[in-house]
Amino acid sequence: MPIKDLRDKKCLLTGAASGIGEATALLAASKGAEVFLTDINAEGLADTARRIEAAGGKVGVAKAIDVADHDAVKTLGDEIHAAHGSMDVVMNIAGISTWGTVQNLEHEHWRQLVEINLMGPIHVIETFIPPMAAAGRGGHLVNVSSAAGLFGLPWHAAYSATKFGVRGISEVLRFDLREHGIGVSLVCPGAVKTPLVGTVQIVGVDREDPRVQKMVGRFERRAVRPEQVAEAIVAGVEKNRYMVYSSPDIRFGHFVQRKFELPYAIAMRALNSRISALAKKL
């Protein structure tokens, strides 16, 4: 039973304090959903909830937790299910980003990314999807991966490990959950104008170097607004669409990757060589 629209649906969103999560929470609430919000940033989360309620939207719960903390997610789930019942839509949006070569990345970088970007969605899925399935009303699961969950981008090994993992989970669940009428959307944004762009850690690189600033500036000029990604996410839910792209360049790149492996490999090698050459000059 696909979700035709979000009106009167109960929708859980992680990462709701800023960026894509905030924009999606605002959009879902404007479409009539009762939203259940979480983020590690308590102040930003409270601001999102206030904005929704000021616009006439309904916030069921807004509670700050770390999705990497399994016990915290389970406690949140128990509280929500006891007071409100099962969700109709679950959106895994929270995430962080760290880039760097394998020579520069330290073990803690890998572990932190895995705990937040991969185990976080797993904690949410195992807490909220079984009750959704048991309720028998159908529903929808949204997992936000990344263009780095599709392509072998330079210096993204640790980040891509988590985003390819989210992609793998989604690929399985799109079939496993079908018998319960639960749709699955895998969202693969490219560049997005969020606070993450300005704070992303590039290990072994001075972010203040003018050449790095110039590279980041080019990235930002190609970036789409969080509201555009939010619109794509909601459309993906309402149309029961599995692959959700934030921009035409990611859609085209994924097409080329699947249909023309050699040109894709050549392009990735050229991009890697260009980034590596820049790094040696820093």
Percentage of the chain with pLDDT > 70?
Answer: 89
Is the pLDDT reported for residue 120 higher than 90?
A: yes
Q: Is 242 a catalytic residue?
A: no
pTM of the model: 0.88
Instruction: Reduce the secondary structure of the chain to three states and give it as a string.
Output: CCCCCCCCCEEEEECCCCHHHHHHHHHHHHCCCEEEEEECCHHHHHHHHHHHHHCCCEEEEEEECCCCCHHHHHHHHHHHHHHHCCCCEEEECCCCCEECCCCCCCHHHHHHHHHHHHHHHHHHHHHHHHHHHHHCCCEEEEEECCHHHCCCCCCCHHHHHHHHHHHHHHHHHHHHCHHHCEEEEEEECCCECCHHHHHCEECCCCCCCHHHHHHHHHHHHCCECHHHHHHHHHHHHHCCCCEEECCHHHHHHHHHHHHCHHHHHHHHHHHHHHHHHHHHHC
Average pLDDT, the chain: 90
Q: Look at residue 204 in the predicted model and tell me its pLDDT.
A: 67
Catalytic residue among 159, 242, 245, 264: 159
Mean local confidence (pLDDT), 59-74: 98
Is the pLDDT reported for residue 258 higher than 90?
A: no
Structural domains in the chain, sorted by start? 10-281 (3.40.50.720)
Is the pLDDT reported for residue 15 higher than 60?
A: yes
What does the pLDDT look like over 165-210, one tens digit per residue? Answer: 999 999 999 999 999 999 999 999 988 877 666 567 777 666 666 7
Is the pLDDT reported for residue 278 higher than 80?
A: no
